[in-house]
């Protein structure tokens, strides 16, 4: 059975989680791999085949910013003369049914989007303090009024287990009350909790605030630094804080929380790991090749030359090591480790420069030839692993006791690159090459990935899309329609309208009656109403209902007589009787 | 003369002649200001002597070097009483140890008896010869070197000796661009034996160093930092790969180094990052690994890494 499963799961992209490969949809960076897919068996990645044959409209990018750099191809539609087959349709509906479903879905999506926008707006309003501070949050009540020496440590270590926004409100309250130190600590707790919950930071008991700061991209550190620096001064220096400084920290914390809600602070955050530009394919490929693979969570400067890590894989389209990082990386490589790097790394002059090259057929010795979307730039120096004679898209170079395997084309480490079986075989072959003595490496090797999606979860829209809820939504809509047909709108019997509705209707009737009376038509209308009442209740029924309404027996009998007279002769109409009759009928309902 | 400004100036000055090892320079300076001794481990030719001379010159204190060999005697280090025929009495001739900065080159090549001659000098800053105790100059720093590769004919330093070194630094081969710059300097006429020609300035003197030390000791250390520091050192005694953990002297050393590191960064208070930054150089030589861990190739730096990853920092956000 295991053999059968293994045979069925030939490629890492066979998993339907790689939706760009199996579904017809306009995923970001789909176009970059259309030339690759042309020579590939149509049963492999049918979704990408269908897309490249008839490209769909690109979706709104949302949080998914474009990668930095990378080699992207031109749109392939010009090169495909005519679409061969209808696009892949997962639900196989007819044209009209599709149109109907689309309309229905568009309404549903519009409702969801409106709901989300209202929710986000409400949260934002709460964050920026439109609520009155007098509305004391629970966090404030739970905290000590003053932070004395004894409670200092406890208050810091036991940041109340409350939502970030509550902590921030408590911080504002503390600021208003003049408890500046506590305000700064609560702001820190709110920010760290928020970033941690959104997995923008990896919280760990042994991490310091400065290490958290280092986890963020350089361009996004300023806000968090504003918060943490105040805490540091207060916490470790016991320096009295100034209101202005704490206010600035709270403002930074507020901004940070709002920004983190949208997961848009960096392209690396919220990137689709299973998309064409994701890195799950590489992770699984290396794992299937026998390596112990993990994502690198710590900074490059912490690379230990003595560590057991054999290979570090860096995709420069997603990570941006600093100069200090490159120094640490080089020292680590020189100590006898191997770096795979996609892009032009700093600090490795052994690789020469990236130079442009004309279209040419690449050659590779001893390994399957990788196929590129277009011929990438190449390095000028280094032992060519792949070469077209003038430039070397993939080179190997020794650095100290270790070495660097450099890929000029950054897409070679992306999921989309694996749509061609030869490419998959090439990357796996590189690992085998090292295993056979090509470079220093333990067997099984330990590998860490430092790629764009290494520490990121997909953004909420993508995560929802990955849940494949559409069939479920169809079922719910169908059930809803059945209920509408069976029970009517809105699934329940009519009930007594609310009081204000009744009053409005009463006023309306009186106005109409007065108008009819003025024009002489009220007699006929009143007679018709009297006939309708008698037909519905009968003489006895009307008398009984009038008594139930509170009229005396005599008055009820008078009302009945009057109604009968009015119905038969259209004479004797009075507004008082009509009002009584109206009220009695209201009671009957 | 603030600690931060002076520290940065000295580092910049030394970096002019010792290229590509700013981390080592900083660590050595921190240890010196903290009043400790330094053990440098590195292959020959990496600039250890140059580093010692450049630092001693920048600090404005004297410098002497002893090449430790198997036949080196304790009196060759400390000095001894020699009979003066003219005065008909024994006269003490001080050894090379009577210097503010002493470079003990390849210290592990001397036998244990000679190494032990340094013990009293390093811990108490005094030398006892023939029943007379003589004070060493203040400040007094020992920079010892050892070669990690050639172990034949060497005498590994005993634990008592190792524990007296405040920090242990690894000197690595320079990167290529650094080496190219070094060659450029050589072509331009730089001579490592002539620091005058290189224009290396003297920025301090012995009193200045004492002043920096005093400033560093005034850096505030929170009670929680002390607890954290003690927990770090204490964890070395409970780690499964460790046979003998670090001593309380390690705790004190780590504290002093963290204070200097904080002062050098311009702060008058210590933060957990200072402790973490100094943990490797202070702790890596102060505990003995289990034999099986050594056989498995476990390195003390890895143990320190694990300890740093395990011990909660004060106020660490619980995940």
- Are residues B105 and B117 in contact, defined by beta-carbon separation less than 8 angstroms? no
Helix (H, G, I), strand (E, B) or coil at A392: strand
- Residues of B in Cβ contact (< 8 Å) with A235: 222, 315
pLDDT tens-place string over residues A140-188: 333 333 334 333 333 444 455 567 777 888 888 888 888 888 888 888 8
The predicted pLDDT at position A465 comes to 63
Q: Which residue of A has its CA nearest to B170?
A: A305
Query: What burial letters (b/e) apply to B115-136, b meaning 16+ CB within 10 Å?
Result: bebbebbbeeeebebeeeeeeb
User: B171 to chain A: nearest residue by CA?
Assistant: A331
CA gyration radius for chain B?
Answer: 20
| Residue among A193, A206, A349 minimizing CB distance to B313 | A206
Q: Say whether pLDDT at B223 is over 60.
A: yes
Least confident residue range of B84-88, B110-114, B193-197, B210-214: B193-197
For residues A242-260, one letter each, b for 16 or more C-beta atoms within 10 angstroms of the residue's C-beta and e for the rest, the string is eeebbeebbebbbbbbbbb
B101 to chain A, minimum CA–CA distance in Å? Answer: 30
A 10 A CB-CB count for A343 gives 22
Confidence of residue A59 (pLDDT cuts 50, 70, 90): very low
Tell me how close the Cα of B68 comes to any Cα of chain A, in angstroms. 29
List, for residues A72-110, the tens digit of each pLDDT value: 333 333 333 333 444 444 444 544 555 566 667 777 777
| Gap from B162 CA to chain A (nearest CA, Å) | 21
Are residues A22 and A270 in contact, defined by beta-carbon separation less than 8 angstroms? no
Cβ-contact A394, A362 below 8 angstroms = no
- DSSP code per residue over A213-225: HHHS-GGGHHHHH
Contacts of A206 in chain B (CB under 8 A): 308-313, 316
CA distance B81 to chain A (A): 48
Q: Is the dihedral of CA A573, A574, A580, A585 positive or negative?
A: positive
In total, the C-beta contacts within 8 angstroms joining chain A to chain B are 87
Which residues of chain B have a CB within 8 Å of the CB of A307? 302
- B299–A189 C-beta distance less than 8 A: no
Contacts of B222 in chain A (CB under 8 A): 235-236, 238
Map residue A394 onto helix, strand or coil.
strand
Q: Which residues are within 8 A (CB) of B185 and not within 5 positions of it... i.e. 6 or more apart?
A: B19
Q: Does B177 contact A349 at a Cβ distance shorter than 8 Å? A: yes
Which of B269, B310, B317 shows the shortest C-beta gap to A192?
A: B317
Reported ipTM: the value is 0.82
> How do B37-41 and B165-170 pair as beta strands?
parallel
Residue A58 C-alpha from the chain's centroid: 17
- Chain B residues near residue A400 by CB distance under 8 angstroms: 173
Inter-chain residue contact A210 with B175, CB threshold 8 Å: no
The reported pLDDT for the residue numbered B176 is 85
Across the interface, do A211 and B273 touch by the CB < 8 Å criterion? yes
d(CA A499, CA A487): 25
**DSSP collapsed to 3 states, B246-276:** CCHHHHHHHHHHHHHHHHHCCCCECCHHHHH
Nearest-Cα distance to chain A for B232, in Å, is 11
Cβ pair A203:B314 closer than 8 A: no
Q: What distance in Å separates the CA atoms of residue A533 and residue A547, rounded to the nearest whole number?
A: 15
| Model pLDDT, residue A453 | 53
Residue A127: C-alpha distances to residues A199, A228, A258 (Å)? 20, 19, 7
* pLDDT tens digit sequence for A311-358: 999 988 777 788 888 888 998 998 889 999 988 888 788 887 777 655
CA distance, residue A134 to nearest chain B CA (Å): 29
| A400 and chain B in contact, CB less than 8 A | yes
Cβ atoms of residues A154 and A143 within 8 Å:
no
Name which of B19, B41, B317 to mutate to probe chain A: the one with the most chain A Cβ atoms within 10 A of its Cβ: B317
Cβ distance A123 to A162 under 8 Å? Answer: no
Of the candidates A196, A211, A236, the beta carbon closest to that of B269 is on A236
Beta bridge partners of residue B169, listed in sequence order: B40
Contacting residues of A for B268, CB less than 8 Å apart:
237
Q: What are A398's strand-pairing partners? A: A403
Q: Which of A156, A189, A304 sits opposite B302 (nearest CB)?
A: A304
Instruction: Give the Cβ contact number of residue A567 at 10 Å.
Output: 18
- Mean pLDDT over the full length of chain A: 74
Among residues A351, A312, A304, A354, the alpha carbon closest in space to that of A332 is found at A304
Residues of B within 8 A of A350 (CB-CB) are 176
Closest CB to A196: pick one of B312, B313, B317.
Answer: B317
- pLDDT for position A345: 84
For an interface test with B, which of A149, A154, A202, A208 has the most B Cβ atoms less than 10 Å from its Cβ?
A: A208
The answer, for A504 touching chain B at a CB cutoff of 8 Å, is no
pLDDT in tens, A434-466: 877 777 788 888 998 887 654 444 556 656 665
The angle, 0 to 180 degrees and rounded to 10, between the axes of the packed helices B22-33 and B272-283 is: 100
Contact: A331, B310; criterion CB under 8 Å? no
Q: SS3 for A202?
A: coil
Q: Which chain B residues are closer than 8 Å to A157 by Cβ?
A: 314-316, 318
Looking at residue A489, what DSSP letter applies? T
Predicted pLDDT of residue B253: 93
pLDDT 10s digits, A249-259: 998 888 888 77
Question: What's the CA gap between A208 and A69, in Å, rounded?
Answer: 32
Whole-angstrom Cα distance, residue A295 to residue B92?
A: 65
Best mutation target among A160, A236, A239 (most B Cβ atoms within 10 Å) is A236
pLDDT, residue A103, reads 65
Q: Who contacts A459 (Cβ-Cβ below 8 Å, separation ≥6)?
A: A62, A63, A64, A263, A270, A271, A272
B315 vs A: CB within 8 A? yes
Chain A's closest residue to B307, CA to CA, is: A206
- Other CB atoms closer than 10 Å to residue A80's CB: what's the count? 14
Percent of chain A with pLDDT over 70: 71
Is the minimum CB–CB distance between A206 and chain B shorter than 8 Å?
A: yes
Chain A contact for B232, CB < 8 A? Answer: no
Contact A384, A394 (CB under 8 A): yes
Average pLDDT, chain B: 86
A193 at interface of B, judged by CB pairs closer than 8 A = yes
Q: Which residues contact A308 (CB under 8 A, 6 or more apart)?
A: A442, A446
**pLDDT digit string, tens, across residues A475-515:** 899 899 998 888 877 777 767 777 778 888 888 888 877 77
**8 A C-beta contact, residue A392 and residue A400:** no
The residues with which A387 forms a beta bridge, in sequence order, are A363
């Amino acid at each position: 059975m295991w053999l059968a499963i293994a045979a069925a799961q030939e490629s890492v992209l066979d998993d339907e989680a790689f939706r760009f490969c199996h579904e017809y949809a306009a995923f970001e960076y789909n176009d970059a791999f259309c030339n690759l897919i042309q020579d590939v068996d149509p049963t492999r990645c049918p979704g990408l085949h269908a897309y490249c044959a008839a490209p769909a409209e690109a979706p709104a990018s949302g949080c998914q910013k474009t990668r930095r750099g990378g080699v992207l191809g031109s749109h392939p539609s010009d090169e495909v003369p005519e679409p061969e087959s209808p696009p892949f349709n997962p639900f196989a509906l007819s044209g009209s049914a599709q149109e109907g479903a689309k309309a229905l879905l568009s309404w549903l999506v519009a409702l969801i989007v409106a709901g989300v926008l209202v929710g986000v707006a409400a949260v934002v309003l709460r964050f920026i303090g439109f609520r009155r501070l007098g509305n004391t949050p629970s966090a404030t009540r739970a905290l000590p009024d003053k932070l004395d020496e004894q409670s200092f440590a406890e208050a810091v270590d036991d940041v109340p287990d409350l939502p970030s926004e509550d902590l921030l409100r408590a911080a504002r309250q503390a600021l208003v009350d003049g408890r500046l130190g506590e305000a700064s600590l609560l702001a820190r707790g709110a920010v760290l909790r928020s970033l941690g919950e959104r997995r923008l930071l990896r919280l760990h008991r042994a991490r310091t605030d400065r290490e958290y700061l280092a986890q963020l991209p350089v361009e996004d550190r300023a806000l968090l630094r504003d918060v943490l620096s105040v805490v540091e001064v207060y916490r470790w220096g016991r320096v009295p804080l100034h209101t202005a400084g704490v206010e600035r920290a709270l403002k930074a914390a507020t901004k940070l929380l709002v920004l983190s809600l949208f997961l848009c602070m960096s392209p690396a955050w919220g990137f689709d790991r299973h998309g064409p530009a994701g890195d799950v394919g590489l992770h699984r490929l290396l794992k299937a090749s026998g390596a112990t693979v993990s994502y690198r969570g710590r900074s490059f400067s912490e690379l230990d030359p003595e560590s057991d890590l054999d290979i570090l894989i860096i995709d420069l389209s997603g990570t941006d090591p600093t100069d200090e990082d490159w120094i640490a990386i080089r020292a680590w490589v020189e100590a006898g480790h191997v770096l795979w790097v996609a892009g032009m790394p700093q600090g490795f002059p052994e690789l020469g420069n990236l130079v442009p090259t004309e279209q040419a057929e690449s050659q590779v010795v001893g390994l399957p030839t990788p196929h590129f979307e277009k011929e990438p730039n190449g390095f000028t120096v280094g032992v060519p692993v792949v070469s077209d004679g003038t430039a070397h898209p993939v080179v190997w170079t020794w650095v100290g006791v270790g070495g660097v395997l450099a890929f000029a084309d950054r897409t070679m480490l992306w999921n989309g690159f694996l749509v061609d079986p030869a490419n998959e075989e090439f990357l796996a072959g590189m690992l085998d090459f090292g295993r056979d003595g090509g470079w220093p490496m333990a067997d099984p090797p330990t590998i860490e990935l430092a790629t764009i999606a290494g520490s990121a979860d997909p953004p909420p829209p993508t995560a929802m899309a990955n849940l494949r809820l559409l069939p479920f939504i169809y079922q719910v809509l169908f059930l809803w329609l059945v209920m509408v047909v069976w029970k009517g709108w809105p699934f329940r019997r009519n009930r007594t309208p609310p009081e204000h509705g009744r009053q409005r209707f009463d006023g309306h009737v009186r106005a109409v009656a007065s108008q009819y009376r003025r024009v002489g038509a009220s007699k006929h209308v009143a007679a018709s109403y009297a006939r309708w009442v008698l037909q519905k209740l009968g003489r006895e029924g009307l008398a009984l209902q009038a008594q139930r309404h509170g009229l005396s027996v005599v008055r009820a009998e008078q009302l009945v007589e009057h109604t009968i007279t009015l119905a038969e002769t259209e004479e004797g109409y009075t507004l008082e009787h009509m009002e009584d009759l109206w009220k009695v009928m209201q009671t009957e309902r | 003369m603030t600690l931060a400004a002076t520290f940065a100036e000295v580092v910049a000055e030394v970096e002019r002649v010792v290229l590509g090892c700013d981390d080592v320079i900083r660590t050595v300076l921190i240890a010196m200001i903290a009043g400790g001794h330094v053990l440098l481990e590195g292959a020959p030719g990496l600039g250890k002597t140059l580093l010692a001379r450049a630092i001693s010159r920048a600090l404005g204190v004297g410098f002497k070097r002893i090449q430790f060999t198997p036949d080196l005697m304790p009196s060759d280090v400390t000095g001894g009483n020699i009979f003066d025929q003219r005065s008909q009495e024994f006269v003490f001739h001080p050894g090379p140890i009577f210097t503010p900065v002493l470079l003990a080159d390849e210290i592990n090549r001397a036998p244990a008896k000679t190494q032990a001659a340094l013990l009293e000098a390093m811990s108490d800053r005094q030398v006892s010869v023939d029943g007379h105790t003589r004070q060493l100059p203040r400040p007094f720093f020992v920079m010892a070197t050892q070669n990690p590769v050639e172990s034949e004919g060497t005498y590994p330093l005993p634990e008592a000796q190792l524990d007296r070194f405040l920090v242990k630094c690894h000197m690595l081969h320079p990167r290529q661009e650094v080496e190219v710059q070094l060659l450029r300097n050589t072509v331009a006429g730089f001579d490592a034996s002539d620091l005058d020609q290189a224009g290396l300035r003297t920025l301090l003197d012995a009193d200045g160093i004492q002043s920096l030390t005093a400033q560093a000791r005034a850096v505030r250390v929170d009670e929680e930092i002390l607890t954290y520091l003690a927990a770090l050192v204490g964890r070395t005694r409970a780690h499964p790969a460790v046979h003998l953990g670090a001593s309380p002297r390690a705790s004190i050393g780590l504290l002093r180094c963290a204070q200097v590191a904080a002062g050098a960064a311009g702060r008058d208070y210590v933060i957990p990052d200072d402790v973490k930054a100094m943990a490797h150089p202070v702790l890596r030589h102060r505990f003995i690994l289990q034999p099986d861990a050594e056989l498995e190739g476990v390195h003390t730096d890895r143990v320190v890494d694990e300890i740093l990853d395990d011990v909660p920092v004060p106020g660490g956000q619980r995940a």
